[in-house]
Amino acid sequence: MRRRGIAGSLLLASAPFWLTWPAWPVWAQQPASPAQQWSGATAEELDVAWAAQISQQIKQHWRVPRGVSPVGPVLVTRIRLQFDASGVLASHSLARSSQNAAFDEAAMLAVTLGTANAVFGPPPSNTSFSFSIDFNSKEQPR
């Protein structure tokens, strides 16, 4: 069966929808683990990739609080995250303060929001895993 397109070109009839749709809806598919994405990588590279995925998720929730001047001194807060062997956030704490309470609280809130109900999967090393994230007042537009 042939149909004419808007511009007059020939179009072949499309295949039935059940042949073109994925087996599972895209929104229901689990993201590939770092191990699947980085086959052949060292254990250290896998750990770094796993931590980077989590950092990216957290940074999506990061907002520099109002009152922090964009032309003032650079503020940096470091948050330490500890994950258990199943990839669940066990704890997070302030490792280095910026000396600005609102800035530190905004960084802690980003971690809370970025990890709430998130399923990261187990760390590549399959053991408890910890790393730090730095939040910098100059790294994001307001």
Mean pLDDT confidence for 88-102: 95
Contact 134, 62 (CB under 8 A): no
| Within-domain flag for 15 | no
pLDDT at 98 over 90: yes
| Within-domain flag for 23 | no
Sign of CA dihedral 125, 33, 35, 23: positive
Distance of CA 52 to the CA centre of its chain: 7
| Within-domain flag for 61 | yes
What three-state secondary structure class fits 133?
strand
Query: Comparing 91 with 41, which gets the higher pLDDT?
Result: 91
Q: How many angstroms separate the CA atoms of 35 and 42, rounded?
A: 10
| Within-domain flag for 92 | yes
pLDDT tens-digit map of 13-36? 444 444 444 444 444 555 555 445
Q: pLDDT category, 39, cuts 50, 70, 90?
A: low
Model pLDDT, residue 8: 41
pLDDT at 123 over 60: yes
pLDDT at 99 over 70: yes
Model pTM? 0.68
Residue span of the structural domain in which 89 resides: 41-66+73-142
| Within-domain flag for 54 | yes
Total structural domains in the chain? 1
Question: What type of residue is 64?
Answer: V
| Within-domain flag for 5 | no
